[in-house]
Amino acid sequence: MVPGPAPGRKDEPYAGASAARFPRRRTGTSRAMAPRSIWNGTITLGTIAVPIKVHSATESRTVRFREVHEPDGARIEHRRIGPDGEEVPYDDIVKGYEVREGEFVVLEKEEIAAAAGERSRLIDVEEFVDADAIDPVFFDRTYYLGARDDGDAYRLLHAALRRTGRAGIARWVFHNREYLVAIRPLDGVLALHTMRFHDELVDPGSLDIPAPSRKPTEREIEMAGTLVESLHADFDARTMLTDTHRETVLEYLDAKRHGKARKPEPPKPPEETDDLLAALQASLEAGGKR
Amino acid sequence: MPRTLWSGSLSFGLVNVPVALVSAVRDLDLHFRQLRAKDAAPIEVQRWCTEEDREVPYEEVARLFEFDDGGTVIVTDDELEGLAPERTRTIEIDAFVDLADVDPIYFDHPYLLVPAAENDGALRAYRLLLEVMGRTDRAALGRFVMRTKEYRAVVRAREGALSLTTMRMHDEVRSTEGIDTGAKGRAPKAQLDAAISLVEQMTVEWDPTRYEDRYRERLRKVVERKRKGQTIKVPEAAEEPAPVPDLMAALRESLEAARGGGGRKASKDGDGDGDDLEGLTRDELYERAQERDVPGRSSMSKDELKEALS
């Protein structure tokens, strides 16, 4: 799914420089404070109403660049150009859906918004499912939900979901688009995930992956299994989901600015494994490390 | 076969498996083109150099980084890719973890890995990884660089293929600290018991095919109607219910309704008779009401809609 107007991601090419080690002064985002809410509404469950506000739970910390023209370093602008080469001002643009080649149905903003439906301030929980039964491929973006009142119903829902291991399934209209969402407890708060629809996922079976003429032997599978076990570790996001490359990039940029950058090397292609058994044996002897 | 987005080698100990990365997500959204209002001529978005006032081919686009003190430096993609030469070619597996321990909040974009070579060695190595991971609930944690950005990824066996999902970094996930949960204090036991019963009562088996992208469908209908020259009515937003003063009473009421109804499951188990209104959500009922042009439908409750449609 491509969440159109949701925050972050591709649609902000000129967001400027922002990165972990060089926090941006101008915006001065404080990470300790709860982010501003981006949506207010009510979760309904039977006749129970839970007034909530939605906060983003994630933020991109990728090193951001601005596009420039290489020879002169001049800023690049994205311009809207008509078929006759004329620039078209933003206010003179409408949206059209191509129903046949070259034939467009023009839609006003409000008409596109009409597809969102009328439940635009409600998140009506229709049913619950076992949260663990949902394959992770279905989860798209995550938001945190905050209470807008004394929170009695909010905490009750949180406690009931925690105790049962269930997630609430609902629809949520956000930025004029309806999403399928799952609501589940995460630490002490309720989290809301937008979900991908089943038909948006490519069926792995459709890939027609060719089978080898000779299957891996039991001995190879066993050895690979031993290798997997030797590399087994408890998952820890703090140490395992860290971006070491970000630092490398920032250091390189800093060095280049001061005229001290080393020349990057061209990549070497890795060797293909010919003898699976020998490679497994050697890996095990090396303790799983390369 | 979907388009290859990256190709390289999946490296597991000293075993290298040549693989290609394809998206596991298909874009089914309706895409709109930007048109010029006066003549509906399609617009093209072009990159223009602000200095020379001309269009710039993509090959001449470089990246400018701005430091906090206003200083700048210009780099090219080739330069950035050269910073981690191995990792742009290799997905290196550093550890195996239990998939259930990884919170879904970290999952970003799902991809599939397919063998990138036709030779038997490559296919066997691919099959070996698939077999081994399919037998345990272990998932491999790897990292690689794609288009100048480093990704952490979880690789696992899913329905006969290796699936790779890129992960959000730990510092890209915000703390839940400061999120308002209202006053302190636990829910009274009687309330919690009733809420648990309600959740249990409303529980169904997770089946993703039960949920269609109704937005996509509605948007398609909007386009169709507009094409036929019909006017499109913007629905009014439904009112937000006020929080109930007596939570326990609302729980009891909801529980009764859930028990009494039970229609959703019944209709699901039935042979899918399309005219069965039981088990339809209010939105689904509303859509049918729209089709039949039921007057006053936008202010009707679920039961009233059911009544009007039957």
Tens digits of per-residue pLDDT, A89-120? Answer: 999 999 999 988 888 999 988 888 888 877 78
CA-based nearest residue to B93, from B4, B7, B5, B14: B14
Using CB atoms, which residue from B65, B129, B203 is nearest to A65? B65
Q: Residue B274 — very low, low, confident or very high, per pLDDT cuts 50/70/90? A: very low
Q: Among A1-15, A43-57, B60-74, B192-206, whose mean pLDDT is lowest?
A: A1-15
Across the interface, of B25, B30, B235, the residue whose CB is closest to A117 is B235
Beta carbons of B195 and A145 less than 8 Å apart: no
What is the pLDDT averaged over residues B165-188?
Answer: 91
Q: According to the model, what pLDDT value does residue A12 have? A: 33
If you measure CA to CA, which chain B residue comes closest to A27? B68
% of chain A exceeding 90 in pLDDT: 60
Residue B295 is predicted with a pLDDT of 67
The arrangement of strands across the sheet holding A103-107 comes to A103-107, A93-100, B33-36
Beta-carbon contacts below 8 Å between A and B? 617
Residue A289 near residue B95, CB atoms below 8 Å? no
Partner-chain residue, chosen from A61, A134, A204, that has the shortest CB–CB distance to B160:
A204
pLDDT at A17: 32
Q: Rounded to a whole number, what is the distance in angstroms from the first to the last CA of chain B? A: 46
The confidence band for B298, taking pLDDT boundaries of 50, 70 and 90, is low
- For chain B positions 210-239, those within 8 Å of chain A (CB to CB) are 211-215, 218-219, 221-223, 226-227, 232-239
Where is pLDDT greater, at A158 or A4?
A: A158
Look at domain B6-26+84-171 and name its CATH class: mainly beta
- CB-CB neighbors (< 8 A) of A100 in chain B: none
Residue B270 touches partner A, C-beta closer than 8 Å:
no
Q: Sheet of A122-124: strands edge to edge?
A: A122-124, A39-45, A48-56, A139-147, A189-195, A177-186, A166-174, A127-130
Of A81, A104, A209, Cβ closest to residue B35: A104
Q: What is the mean pLDDT of residues A215-237?
A: 93
Mean pLDDT of A136-149: 96
- Beta strands A39-45 and A122-124, pairing class: parallel
Whether A72 sits inside 8 A of B51 (CB atoms) is: yes
Q: What is the mean predicted confidence (pLDDT) over B111-116?
A: 95
Predicted local confidence at residue B136, as pLDDT? 82
Contact criterion met (CB < 8 Å) for A279 and B15: yes
**Residue located via tokens 């990246």:** B63
* Closest partner CB to B85 (pick from A16, A212, A268): A268
Classify residue B279 as left (phi > 0), alpha (psi -120 to 50) or beta.
left
pLDDT interval class at B95 (50, 70, 90): very high
Instruction: Identify the residue whose tokens are 């018991």.
Output: B193
Record: contact B75-A75, CB cut-off 8 A: no
CA distance A44 to A55: 18
Compute, in degrees rounded to 10, the torsion defined by CA atoms B168, B169, B171, B176. Answer: 40
Q: What is the pLDDT confidence band of residue B163, given thresholds at 50, 70 and 90?
A: very high
Nearest-Cα distance to chain B for A245, in Å, is: 6
Residues in chain A closer than 8 A to B218 (CB atoms): 114-117, 178
Query: Phi then psi for A120, rounded to 5 degrees?
Result: -75, -15
Most A CBs within 10 Å, among B174, B214, B281, to test the A interface = B174
- Please say whether the beta carbons of B96 and B141 come within 8 A: yes
What number of other Cβ atoms are within 10 A of residue A265's Cβ? 10
- Cβ <8 Å between A134 and B104: yes
Check B222 against A106: CB less than 8 A apart: no
Q: Å from B271 to nearest chain A CA?
A: 21
- Whether this model's pTM surpasses 0.80: yes
pLDDT of residue A176: 87
| Domain residue spans of chain B | 6-26+84-171, 189-200+209-309
Range list of β-strands (E), A74-220: 76-81, 93-100, 103-107, 122-124, 127-130, 139-147, 166-174, 177-186, 189-195
Give the DSSP letter of residue B3.
Answer: P
What residues contact residue B291 under an 8 Å CB cut-off, 6+ apart?
A: none
Give the mean model confidence (pLDDT) for residues B224-248.
82
pLDDT tens per residue, range A147-172:
999 999 999 999 999 999 999 999 99
* A20 contacts B218? CB cut-off 8 A: no
- Provide, as residue numbers in chain B, all residues whose Cβ is less than 8 Å from the Cβ of A67: 47, 61-64
The amino acid occupying position A184 is R
In tens, the pLDDT along B24-53 reads: 999 999 999 999 999 889 999 999 999 999
Task: Report the pLDDT averaged over residues B126-154.
Answer: 90
* Contact with chain A for residue B267, Cβ under 8 A: no
Please return the burial class of B219, using the count of CB atoms within 10 Å of its CB with bins 0-12, 13-18 and 19+.
buried
pLDDT in tens, A44-69: 999 999 999 999 999 999 899 999 99
Pairing of β A189-195 and β B4-12? unpaired
Chain B nearest C-alpha distance from A184 (Å) = 11
Average pLDDT over every residue of B123-141: 91
